[in-house]
Chain A
Amino acid sequence: MGNWLSPSVMRLLLPLLYAVVIVAVLPLLAGYIVLLERKVMADMQARLGPMRVGPHGLLQPIADALKLVLKEDIIPDNADRLLFWLAPLVSVSMALLAYAALPIGPAFLIADLNIGLLFILAISSLGIYGIVLGGWASNSHYSLLGALRSAAQLVSYETAAGLGLISALLMAGSLSMKDIVTAQYDQGMWFIFYVPIGFFIYMVGSIAETNRAPFDLPEAESELVAGYMTEYSGFRWSLYFLAEYANMIIVAGIATTLFLGGWLRPFASYHDHMPGTSIELLDALPSLLVLGVALYCFFLAPKQPVKIQKLVMAVVAGLCLAIAGVLAGALFASPAVLQGVHGAFWFMAKVFVYLYFFLWFRFTFPRYRFDQLMRLGWRFLIPLALVNLIATASAMLMTREWGPSLRLTTILATVVTLVIAMWLAKNDEVDSAVPVADGE
């Protein structure tokens, strides 16, 4: 046994295990995010949403997945068969590959690359080929238009989102995802509080990059049927769907790592300084939260009308209880285990908060017109991102040269950027009042 579990073997085995876990769990997670989306949408529109399959629709994603796999796979006669076959694969494999550098906990990461952030950005930007080639290969006008819109949109917003990220990178001083989180621990501050505007720009950019409403023009139902996915059905269509949701988790993961402190819990750096104070209670919060969910499910289980639904509810409750047990158990284990287990919890919690914002935006804002989208990207977000970058860099320089605290100078930088943003927005209004002569 000694040789089997030696560090060098573990160093290969653990990442492999993580990779298998991520690839196995991600489709399930994507399915449940879809359920969450439908439930949140229903709630915002004062409806119930899926209620039939399982208690509160809990088994709906599994039923949907079964339906998709069993559906007939149609390839249009005049489609380019090779590319039609290849395109969904490109989309989904690039989305999955990007997880290789995403740290879910201090130990739960597949590879800690020097260039981690750039790697994720590079790989996830390749997913566009799945959309573009799929749209072209379908040999349909709707598909092609969707693909073209998608490409134009991605190229425009990638720049703004990247510039937004750089403002946080300046603070971290490293491209390794692990070092970025550690830098936030060392400085005792999540970077969202240093560069809130950078976070805002990245958020808008990431919504556009993942083709989500209000920027879902590539698949706008009212204009393009389903955009680039129009000719796809069954399993291939579900691959596109999986890629879209995997990409959403990726952008949420990037934002969490760079701006929201990654796997750190709130007030993470106060942990060592004040042992025994009330801030330590935050460590117990995850287990209490999951315990509460478990109790709620136990309470709800007898109220289900059908026996199988009672059973499902009890199983969910048991699962939550087990997770709460693990989370509570980690409290009494070594600090490394505590950080590992709770790190994953906090990371996922932040990712889901970010995703909730995605859903919230989707059901709040109406869809943009394409020229509005382009104007917002090129004439507002990119200049704003540049100004923000320069202001942040000047703030850091000011701190280094004259010595006021970084918190003070970044507030100054944010205020300056906001004033310029207002000026930009005002100017834009004046310009757009002039009638456009001949279209786009």
Chain B
Amino acid sequence: MGLNSILFYFFAGLAVASAILMVTRRNIVHGAVYLITTLLATAGVFLLLQAEFLFVTQVILYVGGIMVLFVFVIMLVNLDVSLLQYQFNRQRFVAGVLALALGAQVFLALKTGQHSLFPQARIPEVLPKNTEAVADALFGRFMLPFEIASILLLVAMIGAVVMAKRRV
């Protein structure tokens, strides 16, 4: 059991624990903080897999961008009211089916993968530079899907502006 395994279980445990805390907290700001912790822990797992570009993108986009907006909106909401309301709804059937599906996935993954909780790391010593590899893939092989996605985002953005403008 090497350092990599210890770090992986640290980050994975942190991610799972704070994800659970996120959905069980009553105070929505605390929930947001735990969500940030989850995202950061996931970023740590990316770093462990030597995907440093993905790590930085996760931190910049999700933690530094999207979550800032989340927190921003949360603070505009009247928290005193939402603290008194019951925040959980019981949809046992749907939740049960989803949990079963997820459990089956985990079981399959464990069955087909290495039969060990502490797999040997098989990371090559020198990887090609992440950033260049991502750029090559995005602007070379996957040019069309990339452009379609960006146009989709642009449309969504313009749509949001138009809808907001009507109300103001």
Query: Which residues of A line the B interface, CB within 8 A?
Result: 80, 82-83, 113-115, 118-119, 121-123, 125-126, 128-129, 132-133, 136, 144, 147-148, 151-152, 154-155, 158, 175, 438
B56 and A118 form a contact (CB under 8 A):
yes
A113 cross-chain contacts in B, Cβ below 8 A: 52
A155 and B56 form a contact (CB under 8 A):
no
The residue of chain A having its C-beta at the shortest distance from the C-beta of B36 within the complex is: A129
Q: Total number of A-B contacts with CB less than 8 angstroms?
A: 67
Most buried by A among B52, B64, B69, B130: B64
The residue of chain B having its C-beta at the shortest distance from the C-beta of A118 within the complex is: B56
Which residue in A118, A147, A155 is a CB contact (below 8 Å) of B75? A147
Q: Given A121-B60, A123-B59, A144-B75, are A136 and B52 neighbors across the interface (CB < 8 Å)?
A: no
Provide the main secondary structure of the chain B interface: helix
B 114-138 binary contact with A (CB < 8 Å = 1; else 0): 0000000000000001110000000
Q: What band does the interface of chain B fall in when counting residues whose beta carbon is under 8 Å from A?
A: 20 to 34
Asked whether any CB of chain A lies closer than 8 Å to the CB of B93, the reply is: no
Which residue in A119, A122, A123, A136 is a CB contact (below 8 Å) of B29? A136
A122 and B36 form a contact (CB under 8 A):
no
List 13 A–B pairs whose Cβ atoms lie within 8 Å, in order of A's numbering: A83-B30, A114-B131, A119-B56, A122-B59, A122-B60, A122-B64, A126-B64, A129-B71, A132-B68, A132-B71, A133-B71, A136-B75, A155-B72
The 5 closest A-B pairs by CB, nearest first: A125-B64, A122-B59, A118-B56, A122-B60, A151-B72
How many Å from the CB of A252 to the closest CB on chain B? 20
B56 and A148 form a contact (CB under 8 A):
no
B52 cross-chain contacts in A, Cβ below 8 A: 113-115
A175 and B68 form a contact (CB under 8 A):
no
Asked whether any CB of chain A lies closer than 8 Å to the CB of B106, the reply is: no
A118 and B60 form a contact (CB under 8 A):
yes
The residue of chain A having its C-beta at the shortest distance from the C-beta of B67 within the complex is: A129
How many Å from the CB of A375 to the closest CB on chain B? 15
